[in-house]
Amino acid sequence: MQAVVFHELGKPPAIEEVDLAPPKAREVRVKVVASGLCHSDIHRLHGHLPSATPMVMGHEGSGVVEEIGEAVSDVAPGDHVVISFGPYCGGCRSCSDGRFSNCERKLANAQRGNLLDGTSRLSLDGRRISHQSSVSSFAQEAVVHESSAVKVREDAPLETVALLGCGATSGLAPVFNDAQVEAGSTVAVIGTGGLGLNTVQASALSGALTIIAIDLLDHRLDQAREFGATHAINASQHDPIAEVQRISGGGVDYAFEVIGYPETVLQAIQMVRPGGETIVIGALAGDAVVSIPWMGMLRGPLRRSGFGASRPNVDIPRYVDLYMAGKLRFDELVTGRYPLSGFHDAVEVMERGEGVRNIIHPNG
C-alpha cells in the first residue's frame, strides 16, 4: 500500500510502498477514507515533537473496517469508524480510573512507534517501521487497536467526522470533560485554528455568556465569531491580557491555551480571575520550559488537557450525533482536500497559516 513515510529530520517525507501485516488479537484493519493534517504533524517534521523514525505519518482519520483480529467485538467488517489517536488498554491504573487518555501502555508504546502490544505492523523492504501515535493514517490502510476504531453512524460523512480522531475532539473534550464549563461563565481562547474553533463552539454550546477569541489573524477571528465567540482580540494590535481583563471585568473563569507556546501559556494564566482555571490544550515542544511566577499560580489551577480526558467510545459518537443534529459545526473546518500525492502541498498551505484543516484522501 502507499503511505507517507517520514525518514529523518530535515528530509521531506516520501510517498512509498510499504507493507502492512494483518491485525492481531484486539486489532482492526481499516481502509482509510480521510485523514486530517494536524499542527502536531508539522511539529514532528520540524523536530519539535520526538518521532521514532522511519515512521508512517498520520494520527486522525476515518474509514471502513475491512478485517478484524481475534477477540474484537465492538466493530465488524463494513462498519464506519473514526480512527482515534487515543487507544487505551482498559487494564492499567489510569484506564481503571477512567483516565483513558493517560493509558500507560499507550503512552509508552506510542513514543516507541508501536501499537499497544509493543510491536509494529508496518515494514518497508523487510525492515520494521514505526506507527505515528499508534495509528499511521496517511496511508491507504491502517491496523489499529480496537479502541482506536470507534464505530459511528453510517449516515455521517466520513470526510468530516475524521476530524474527531484528534483535532475536533481535542478542542471539544477539554471544555465538556476537563473544565466542564458552566452556563453563564466567561471564557478566553488563545488560538483560533482548528482546535481553537472547536473550543469556542463547545464553550458556546455549554452556555458560556462571554467567549473571547484571541489570535494574530483577522480572518481566523472572524471565523471564531461565526463559531460563537462574542469578542475577538487581535494580539498583534492589542495587549491581549489587558483586553481580556477589561472585557471580562477582572478576568475570565476559564482560559484555554490552544497554540503551544510558553509565552501564551503565561498569558492565559494572567487572563483568569482569582479562582479561575487555565487549561493548556496546545502541544508545546518537548524541551519547552514554562516559568510561572508564584503569584500567577495563586490565581487558580493550571492543567494540561491531553485529549480532553476523552472517552473515545462514548464521546466521539455523541459528537457525531450533535454534528448531525446541527449543534456542532465541522463542515466549515475542512478547507482543503488532497490526494496522498498532494501531502507536501497540504503542509505548505498549513505552514502559511491558510485554511483550517486539510484533509488527505489516501485512496483518491
| Spatial contact of 172 and 198, defined as CB atoms under 8 Å apart | yes
Q: Say whether 103 is catalytic.
A: no
The one catalytic residue in 35, 39, 40, 305 is 40
Q: Say whether 59 is catalytic.
A: yes
The one catalytic residue in 92, 95, 103, 166 is 166
List, as own/partner pairs, every contact residues 19-22 make where C-beta atoms lie below 8 angstroms and the sequence separation is at least 24, other chains included.
Answer: 19/122, 19/123, 19/124, 20/121, 20/122, 20/139, 20/141, 20/142, 20/143, 21/121, 21/122, 21/123, 21/143, 22/67, 22/69, 22/121, 22/143
Query: Which set of grid coordinates corresponds to residue 274?
Result: 482569582
The one catalytic residue in 35, 48, 51, 59 is 59
| Spatial contact of 184 and 203, defined as CB atoms under 8 Å apart | no
CA angle (328 as vertex; 327, 331 as ends), nearest 5: 130
Q: Say whether 38 is catalytic.
A: yes
Cα within 13 Å of Cα(351), Cβ side: 12
| DSSP 8-state symbol, 332 | G
Q: Using CA atoms, how far apart are residues 217 and 183, in angstroms rounded to an integer?
A: 28
The one catalytic residue in 35, 39, 43, 94 is 43
The one catalytic residue in 35, 38, 131, 134 is 38
Q: Say whether 43 is catalytic.
A: yes
**Residue-wise burial string across 350-363, b where 16 or more C-beta atoms lie within 10 A, e elsewhere:** beeeebbbbbbbbe
Q: Which residues are catalytic?
A: 38, 40, 43, 59, 166
